[in-house]
Amino acid sequence: MSPLAGTGHLVRLILRRDRLIMPLWIIWLAAMPANFAAAFPGLYPSAADRDTFAQTSNANAALVALYGPVHSADVGGLVAWRISIATVIVALISLLTVIRHTRVEEEAGRRELLGAAPIGRYAGLAAALTVTCAANLLLAGGVAAGLSAQGLPLAGSVALGVQFAAAGWVFAGVGAVAAQLTTGAGAARGIAAATLGGAVLARIAGDLSSHTGGPLGWLSWVTPLGWLSRLRPYADDSWWILGPVVAASAALVGVAVVLTARRDLGAGLLATGTGPAVGGPRLGGPLALAWRLHRGQLAGWTAGLAGTGLVLGGVAGGVGDMFTDNPTLRDLFARLGGDAGLVDLYLAAMLGLLGMGTAGYAISAVLRLRAEETSQRAEPVLATAVSRLRWAASHLAFVGLGPAVVLAGAGLAMGATHAVGGGQGRDVWRVLAGALVQLPAVWLLAAVAFALVGLAPRLTGLAWAVLAVAVSASLFGAILRLPQPLRDLSPFSHLPSVPGGAVSAWPLIWLSLLTAGFAVAGLVGLRRRDLPAG
């Protein structure tokens, strides 16, 4: 039997299971660049306006860190610059998709069931990679078509679409390799996400170092995200950079294939201990079990966002130089509090981004409940004297406290580096407060995810769609001139701007009440429905 036998059947199975989620993220990511292309001419109507904006952005370390340098001051170049952060989103979705259809299938036992049919050894991996890479190609076509329809040059539009797809291909390979290393899907996701986080930090550090004339500019060349930034859509369209990107993708797939041949079905290459025959006192209850299940993910997210906070806080001092050549904006920010007000605005905006990232952690922590259910590990626990509500509450304790730990770590790291880089000692506590004020929005999104687990377990994937809508409304609502009711769909749009802004308790109270309502709905649904629910 061919090792790829049955790949077509598995491709159709994946397409059926992802028939809702996959079109949503493709359409969402394909529509955003076109919307930016429609909005930028209104924001910067003349070439002089766009030149000034590009020069200001390239002179600011914070913006270079977030988006990289602006390579072209025309509309297409500004769209490519502003949307560059979406390559990280594409990479994350791609690696998660591959792991979902490889390691998760093995962990849940469905791959073993399929093994009773004439399915080749590499069919599962091949099907997951085929679907993910094809989805990225569709995304690239959608991006190019949308931008061309806005009147932008075809070559640059195709280059921007390919930039998205190439990011997805590389990190689909990363996900494929990570899926071979561990027996648990959570650990595989952690390894792949940490690799992506390292790639982002390397790109940021490299671009910042190049921007300031430092010695670490070479770091941009060790990460595929740095390579792809040099594709420069609408500037010089450097197609040659796709060569190393495609080679890296092929190499990662090759490594994944080799590793697949060296392990048993359901096993990982990294050794896992069998543990003692009898659980110790630290594993004597559902809360202790939940701690064991969540601690690795919590530590990884805390370390990752704290590292990001270190970088973002370190460049905050340079934000005061922003717009020095633009008297209108300089006067505006002077009325808002001068350079100090501008720095506070920057810190609040960055803390908002960290809050959105933490919402991703909170949702994944909620979905751990569903994973325990579908993998049938919850049944032995619930067969004891542990009630469903107690079992759920043990996991929800980490959904509630985990984001606080993650945001506190990120806030302290950002505040500390800002204080060392020119701020004041009290800024540490101001930034920490700004980080913790993100919690009501994070908890609300986690509560929505938990309501889906309790009431509609087959639709738990929609929790990520809700997060995507919230992030889109917060990040792009203003520039796309979305109606205010659409922007208000994001809980992050109701949070006070801290540090520096006025704080009103009412939005926080309303968000907390909504959180409680969704949490209660989830608990009621979980208590009443069958468990496990397919």
What's residue 515's pLDDT?
Answer: 95
Question: Contact at 8 Å (CB) between 26 and 146?
Answer: no
pLDDT, one tens digit per residue, over 216-256 is 778 888 889 989 988 899 988 889 989 999 999 999 999 99
- For the cut 80, the answer to whether the pLDDT of residue 82 exceeds it is yes
Helix (H) or strand (E) holding 76: helix 75-82
pLDDT, one tens digit per residue, over 505-521 is 888 999 999 999 999 99
- For the cut 80, the answer to whether the pLDDT of residue 149 exceeds it is yes
Question: What's the rounded mean pLDDT across residues 74-93?
Answer: 88
Enter the pTM of the model.
Answer: 0.78
Please provide the average confidence, as pLDDT, over all residues in the chain: 85
What's residue 345's pLDDT?
Answer: 79
In sequence order, what DSSP letters do the residues of 434-478 get, joined into one string?
Answer: HHHTTHHHHHHHHHHHHHHHHH-GGGTTHHHHHHHHHHHHHHHTT
Which has more pLDDT, 374 or 480? 374
Give the list of residues 6+ apart from residue 151 with CB closer than 8 angstroms, or none: none
AA letter at 472 = S
Cα gap 345→8, rounded to integer Å: 52
Question: Contact at 8 Å (CB) between 139 and 219?
Answer: no
In sequence order, what DSSP letters do the residues of 113-155 get, joined into one string?
Answer: HHTTSS--TTHHHHHHHHHHHHHHHHHHHHHHHHHHHTT--HH
Question: Contact at 8 Å (CB) between 298 and 404?
Answer: no
pLDDT, one tens digit per residue, over 292-343 is 888 888 888 888 888 888 877 876 766 665 555 555 555 555 554 455 567 7
